[in-house]
Amino acid sequence: MSSSSRKIDACLLVLALGLASCTRPADIAAHDDADLSAAAGAGVVEADAPEGPGVVPPATVPHAASALAPLATGFDGFGPVAFGAGPQALREAWPGTLEGEPDASDPDACYYLVPQPRPAQGYGTGFMIEGGRFVRVDVDQAGAMAPGGGRIGMAASEIATLYPGQVEELPHKYVEGASYLRVTPDSGPSVLVFELDAQDIVQRWRVGLPPQVDYVEGCG
């Protein structure tokens, strides 16, 4: 084969490869372009900022990190709301809707604020209000962690391990063989109560101030 023929074949090969790269499927091309852009930007990503007067881009909203922090139940209260606070503090702290109102004829009577929508079974979380004060949290959702690490589904022995020397076992008021495990922390006025079934498995828990935390029927 002559040198001129080899040059022609090489040119044809380059041309074929060029046409193939121009006809990449759109999704692969986009993926490759995105990889190149990421490499060029050294990992810096710019998001479109909202426009308009008075609009603050999400990344610069004051206290955005703290606002996104999970609201956890503790021995002192719920998130930033301490036991003893008024119900309005709970409404302001909760990211959604809390349903519940005091009895118009007796504003100091016990009632609950319950997040909406409720789960398919149970109530999820309930905030007890009595005497115009936040006094207790009731929980029957399995994913929620009690102060100190207790959870629904744990055995009595696990609760005893988590709260050594702080657990008092009491018989259940209605279910034969079931019980309550009453946890009194070393400091503070609050008490944590786990309700167990006859197989010694936690079904629900509550934490709050005495005497309300020991109301077996809640506000009933």
* Residue 126: closest CA among 214, 211, 207, 209: 207
R_g (Cα) of the chain, nearest Å: 30
pLDDT value of position 57: 37
Mean pLDDT of 78-102: 95
Instruction: Name the DSSP class of 133.
Output: E
To the nearest 10°, report the CA torsion of 16, 21, 26, 27: 120
* Residue 213: closest CA among 90, 130, 149: 130
pLDDT band at residue 15 using 50, 70 and 90 as cut-offs: very low
Whether the CB-CB separation of 190 and 75 falls below 8 Å is answered with yes
> According to the 3-state scheme, what is the secondary structure of 147-206?
CCCCCCCCEHHHHHHHCCCCEEEEECCCCCCCEEEEECCCCCCCEEEEEECCCCEEEEEE
pLDDT value of position 220: 85
pLDDT value of position 181: 98
Mean pLDDT of the chain: 77
3-state secondary structure of 212: helix
pLDDT tops 90 at residue 53: no
Say how far apart CA 133 and CA 83 lie, in whole Å: 7
More confident residue, 68 or 97: 97
